[in-house]
A and B are shown apart, each in its own frame.
Chain A
Amino acid sequence: MKRKVMSVMLSVSMAAGLLASVPMTAGAEEVQEITWMFWDDLEASEDNITKGFKEVIDRFNEDYDGVYHVTPITTTLEEYYTQLNALVDADETPDVFIVSPGPNLTDYVAPGVAAPLDEYLEEDGWKDTFSSDAVFAQQTYDGQIYAVPLNIAAACVFYNKEIFEEAGVEVPETYDELLEVCAAIKDAGYTPITISAGTAWCLSMLAGYLCDREGVDLDAINSGEESWVNDKTIAAGEKLLELSQYFQETAAGDSNDDATAALYFEEAAILIQGSWAIGQMNGANPDFEEKCGVFQFPAIEGGNDPNRVIAKSDSLAMSSSTESPEACIALMKYFTDDEAQRYTAEVGGKIPVTNVEYDVSVAPAQLADVMDIFSNATGTFGFYNESLVSSDAGAEFDNEMVAIFQQEKTPEEAFQAVEDWYVEEGYR
């Protein structure tokens, strides 16, 4: 009788299996099916870069109709890597997936999940279309390139020209001038700086700039030659605290979106943000485009080279277990072709990775300024939270910066906490 039970159970589970397969897409005949994983919703998103990616996908599927077909898998940014890891564990690694350079990419390069791309890049001059070999710097491991960058965003200071005029101040070039500017704007009745501490990476970006301007040597800290607790980091922490008196009152709870809105609704004068925010600002309030200026994050006197810029690129990696590398490469090429790159500049507000010509008059007014800053930069560095030993270390750094802002910890205590974390996790 047990056998009968088993057979009932089996047939039930088989029926379930049959049903389960129904919602899946019908099997492909000769079309090479690939998947592409991305961290934003292609339909719902208002992000211009995302919209551009959707166009690329649609264009690819249309042009290669009957040959290749790509199906996007999308998640939220928050859960992206978890879901990606789950797919990797299930041996269903998406054929092509987006990834941030830095420790996140390393997580896929080290166990061999991502495939080296050099042979494809060398082929038919694909690599030559890129603006320079330097764009691959963060994607290269032991001389081999494991991901293709799609765009570059630079973090700059956006400001409201009208408010600056009203307060009678000029663009600050040094940190001390920045403080004076903030004081004058506060007197004029505006919020000097709008920032989100609710979304920790926004605050962490400012902290990263301050650390770099102070001359913090991140490589030495990561490798253990130096401690997180040193004069430079503490000075940066103190400056963060000093600037926080000029933040909007609701900074602690505001999301990134709220903080950006305060700039384009002209309540606040200064926003430190990546250039991806340009599209969002101009889209939400078109009148703001001409009032919006951009400047380089100010220098700290006696500190580091003030022409260094925080840059971040979205990159695509290819699964080493993909069955159709040709389709994957063809897809990647669509992301870096002239049409996609022109869109990146003209609509997306990010810096293209190729030498594409684009219409400056169509591109957002702010992009020219960003390009200026970027081309004059003597060097770039990544987001601090993406440049540490692991993504967890980045999260720890973010949290300690928020703790400084909320005055729960002094800068010494906060950086000591990061150092303790390194010790505890065995990086020392």
Chain B
Amino acid sequence: MNRTAENEKPIKISTILIYVFFCFMMVLYLAPLFWIGMTSLKTRAEIYKSPFGWPEAFQWGNYAVAWKAGKLGIAMLNSLFVCVVTLILTMIIGSMAAFAIARLKWKLSGAAMIYIMIGMMIPVHCVLIPLFVRFAGIGLNNNLWGLILPYLTFSLPTCVFIMSGFFRSIPNELLESACMDGCTIYQIFFRICFPLARTGLFVTGLMTFIGNWNELLLALVFVSDDMKKTLPVALTKFVTPYQTNYDKMFPAIMIAIIPTIVVYCLFSNQIVDGLTTGAVKG
């Protein structure tokens, strides 16, 4: 915003200081990630003896061992399944509710909005025990659907909030002309409003997906079967009261975060802006 001012003047000391500061921040943010990469290629003895040195020989085998031992392939599939299903259901159920609240005319729409918004202020911890007890009773523990249900519920408030904003911004004329053409209310929603709110859906989708992809507590409590564990839980298994397998842990961390980093690098601008939009509206 000060572009004109900056271009006219020679480079100021304050600007240099800002750049120095941000270079320092870059080191603070990137060095740890780079360092996990290095460490993941060392033998266990090396990790203990020279944690910051260059690996004597690249132990690519660590990755294979960690992948197999941590059952990371299955964990990743589980995470993917849970997150994708939650994502789709959230978008459909959430935007349906948002549409009804934002555009349809009924007395209780305000109350319904408040009802759903309360969910934003309630941490998942306080329903953990009743849900666990109830789910154990009906066979939903140790079942990925037992994760999807609460994930879905806790993703809905943000989705409804963001989407209702988008639906409100759709001009009335558009709906009226659709109505003239004889569209039903369902067609108006699915053919006109839903596609128009693409940006909103993208933002909601991102928030939902990332939030659930990283979720640990519910996944930890609800799933004990190895074949159904999600990625964050699979990671914590490398540290147990009896042993810490650093030579497997670091490759596992890498395997867990690389996909996220790759996707982030590809779409960083959209993701950062999208998530911010989401948070602002939420």
Is the pairing of A and B real? yes
What is A's interface to B at a CB cutoff of 8 Å? Answer: 16, 19-20, 23, 40-41, 43-44, 46-47, 72-79, 83, 86-87, 89-90, 92, 199, 201, 255-258, 261, 265, 280, 284
Inter-subunit contact B136/A44 (CB<8 Å): no
Does B218 count as interface, using CB distance less than 8 angstroms? no
What is B's interface to A at a CB cutoff of 8 Å? Answer: 44, 48, 68-71, 132-133, 136-139, 141-145, 220, 224-228, 236-245, 248
- Can you list 6 A-B pairs, Cβ within 8 angstroms, ordered by A? A43-B71, A44-B69, A44-B237, A77-B240, A79-B220, A90-B139
Give the distance in Å from the alpha carbon of A141 to the alpha carbon of B61 in the complex. 50
Residue pairs across A and B with CB atoms within 8 Å: the count is 77
CB distance from A39 to the nearest CB of B (A): 10
In the complex, residue of chain B having the shortest beta-carbon distance to the beta carbon of A276: B242
Inter-subunit contact B133/A257 (CB<8 Å): no
Known: A47-B242, A86-B132, A256-B241. 10 other contacts (CB 8 A): A23-B227, A44-B238, A72-B226, A73-B224, A79-B224, A90-B139, A90-B141, A199-B241, A255-B239, A256-B242
Inter-subunit contact B243/A76 (CB<8 Å): no
Partner of B136, one of A43, A89, A255: A89
Give the distance in Å from the alpha carbon of A72 to the alpha carbon of B143 in the complex. 16
Give the distance in Å from the alpha carbon of A257 to the alpha carbon of B241 in the complex. 8
Which A residues lie within 8 Å of B238 (CB)?
44
Inter-subunit contact A261/B48 (CB<8 Å): yes
Which A residues lie within 8 Å of B137 (CB)?
89-90
Q: A83-B224, A92-B139 are in contact. Are A44 and B241 (CB under 8 A)?
A: no
Give the distance in Å from the alpha carbon of A284 to the alpha carbon of B44 in the complex. 9
Inter-subunit contact A43/B225 (CB<8 Å): no
Which A residues lie within 8 Å of B144 (CB)?
20, 23
- 7 closest residue pairs by CB, A with B: A83-B224, A44-B69, A86-B136, A75-B224, A90-B136, A20-B145, A257-B243
Which B residues lie within 8 Å of A43 (CB)?
68-69, 71, 226
Which B residues lie within 8 Å of A92 (CB)?
139
Give the distance in Å from the alpha carbon of A289 to the alpha carbon of B132 in the complex. 46
Which A residues lie within 8 Å of B242 (CB)?
40, 47, 77, 256-257
CB distance from A37 to the nearest CB of B (A): 9
Which B residues lie within 8 Å of A258 (CB)?
244
Give the distance in Å from the alpha carbon of A181 to the alpha carbon of B108 in the complex. 79
Inter-subunit contact A16/B145 (CB<8 Å): yes
Partner of A46, one of B48, B136, B236, B245: B245
